[in-house]
Amino acid sequence: MADTVCGKTLRNVEDLLFERGIDICHETVRFWWNWFGPMFAADIKRQRISRMRGFRHWRWHLDEMFVKINGKTHYLWRAVDQVGEILESYVTKKRDNKAALRFMKKSLKNNGPVETITTDGLPS
C-alpha cells in the first residue's frame, strides 16, 4: 500500500509505461514521484493562489483544533479558503495570542491579502 499514488499504484504506472514501450521498474516511478511531486504540488499551489488573489471576494476561514502528537496535546491552526482548500496549517504547543499572530503573519505572507477572514470566535 506504500506505493499508492493518487489512487493508482506505482505498478500500474509501470504497466502503463510498458504498454507504451518504456520498460522501467516501479521503484523508478516512486523515485520520480518523490523527486518531482513536491515541485509540481508547489507550482500548482502557487498558480491557484495567484488566481485567487485576483478573485474579488476571497474569504478565509481560520480555525484551530486539538491534535495528539506522541501522546501530547498540540494545536493545529488552519486557514481554509471559500472552496475548502487548505491554504496554510501550523502546529503549536501553546494556544495563545502569540501563536495566533504568528500563524496569521505566516498565512498572509505566503498567500497575500484577503478581503474577509472568518474565525470561530475563540479569544486566542
* CB within 8 Å of 11: residues ≥ 6 apart: 3, 26
Q: Residue 51 gets which letter from DSSP?
A: H
Residue 88 has pLDDT above 50, yes or no: yes
Q: Are 47 and 70 in the same domain?
A: no
Residue 10 lies in a domain: yes
Domain tally, the chain: 2
Average pLDDT for 3-10: 58
Q: Are 8 and 48 in the same domain?
A: yes
Q: What is the pLDDT of residue 1?
A: 45
Q: Are 64 and 49 in the same domain?
A: no
The pLDDT tens digits for 31-67 are 888 898 888 888 887 777 777 666 667 788 888 889 9
Residue 4 has pLDDT above 80, yes or no: no
Average pLDDT for 94-103: 86
Residue 26 lies in a domain: yes
pLDDT tier, 19 (very low <50, low <70, confident <90, very high otherwise): very high
Burial of 72 (0-12, 13-18, 19+ CB in 10 A): exposed
Average pLDDT for 79-88: 82
Q: In terms of residue numbers, what domain contains 67? A: 59-118
Residue 123 lies in a domain: no
